[in-house]
Amino acid sequence: MAVAAAAARAAVVGVAAALLATAPAGGPATAATRGAASSSVYWDDNGVTVVSSTVAAQVAVPGGLDLDAAYDTDVITGASVDAVTTASRATWNEVRHAGRLGARYTPKPGLEVGAAYLPSFEPDYWSHGFSAEAHAEWLDRRLTTGLVAGLSLDRVQRIVPIRTVWARLELGAVLDARTVATLAYEVGRAWGRLSSPYLWVELHLTGGVGADLRTLRDTVPGEKLRHALVAGVRRALAPDWFARASYRFYADDWGLRSHTGEVEVSHVVFDERVTLGATARAYGQTGVRFWRRRYDVVWPDLPQYFTTDKLLGPMWSVGAGLRSEVRFPWRAAGADLVFTSEVWAYAQTFPDYAPLRARHAIVGSLGIALEL
């Protein structure tokens, strides 16, 4: 593990040095000034409702600096079946506050660096995330490489720390006048108490210890190393039709593997004033290697790790959505006023999790933005 971490550090440091030392000339990324506000409602048939609101602003400052800030709040109300069985609370309410403060700077054409701070606060979970990034354009802007790295300092129930570090290598290649291909590889490591403090596991014992059932806290390893490889393509099918597709493979050292595929098609009509979009997504994961639907244990051979957390077991999900964006020119301000609406359906299946075999959700959102 230490060797792997050292190799990762060496790889990301090397690539960062290469990016920063020899970035060629090219055009900077387009800067934009915009303000946006949106609200969404998530509802599922497991009794969970989340009302989310977001305000965000992005300002392009002369001199190659872009600043952005966002504030998100989620109001979560739950009465889910598995929350009753595992957390022993019939209903619960929580408010999550989150935000983002970011800056991007273009010191010279073809090179962009940035940093962001992402805090998040819930009654029982605090998180402070930091990220830094560098992107460079090569070969007459046909090739873009990027390095993004981050650190997250979290506290569960305000006292139990979790730390996460991650780094992502990004690549974008312009294949022709209509097509861009992307490839990203991300490695991350988390350590701390990674098990949920609200989950308990029943161990069914045999072997003559007196009691045949023992309930213990969910116990997972204290660290996790994860990898994700994402390949994607964006293509203009026609001047008014655009498509995007991506595939992600994920693996971690807990034994979980997953595959994610997503496609999106957009159509622009009415002189670029209306955009209609459709998205579909499919996801499937194996369980971690120590996940069981039921733990039958022969005393005294207790397993080192045990969890029945549905998120760590076998699961698959599908989602599909429709999106519309209507753009009104505001000539006096030299800006566009943009109204967006989106509806997204999401279904999850937990084939081996008896308290909740499946859940179905729908998310509806409305937004408005002013773009200069």
Partner 1 sequence: MRRVLATGFLVWALGVGAGAAAGVGCAPLRPWERGLLAHRCMDPRARPEARRARLHLLTAREASRGGEGESGGGCGCQ
Q: Burial of 137 by CB count in 10 Å (0-12 exposed, 13-18 middle, 19+ buried)?
A: buried
- Residue 232 · residue 264 · CB < 8 Å: no
Would you count residue 23 as binding partner 1 (CB under 8 A)? no
Residue linked to tokens 């090569």 = 138
Measured from the CB atom, the residue of 205 and 317 that comes closer to partner 1 is: 317
Say how far apart CA 312 and CA 314 lie, in whole Å. 7
Would you count residue 219 as binding partner 1 (CB under 8 A)? no
Among 132, 171, 302, 320, binds partner 1 (CB under 8 A): 171
Would you count residue 109 as binding partner 1 (CB under 8 A)? no
Say how far apart CA 151 and CA 134 lie, in whole Å. 16
Would you count residue 30 as binding partner 1 (CB under 8 A)? yes
Among 114, 134, 166, 203, binds partner 1 (CB under 8 A): 166
Among 101, 115, 160, 225, binds partner 1 (CB under 8 A): 225
Mask: binding to partner 1, 121-140, rule CB under 8 A, as x and -?
A: xx--x-xxx-x------xxx
Mask: binding to partner 1, 251-270, rule CB under 8 A, as x and -?
A: x-x--x-x-x-----x-x--
Measured from the CB atom, the residue of 250 and 299 that comes closer to partner 1 is: 250
- Residue 199 · residue 218 · CB < 8 Å: yes
Phi and psi at residue 15, to the nearest 5°:
-65, -40
Would you count residue 365 as binding partner 1 (CB under 8 A)? yes
Measured from the CB atom, the residue of 128 and 292 that comes closer to partner 1 is: 128
**Shortest distance, position 332 Cβ to partner 1, whole Å:** 22
Among 24, 41, 113, 154, binds partner 1 (CB under 8 A): 154
Q: How many CB atoms lie within 10 A of CB 261?
A: 13
- The residue among 127, 137, 215 whose CA lies nearest residue 173 is 137
3-state secondary structure of 4: helix
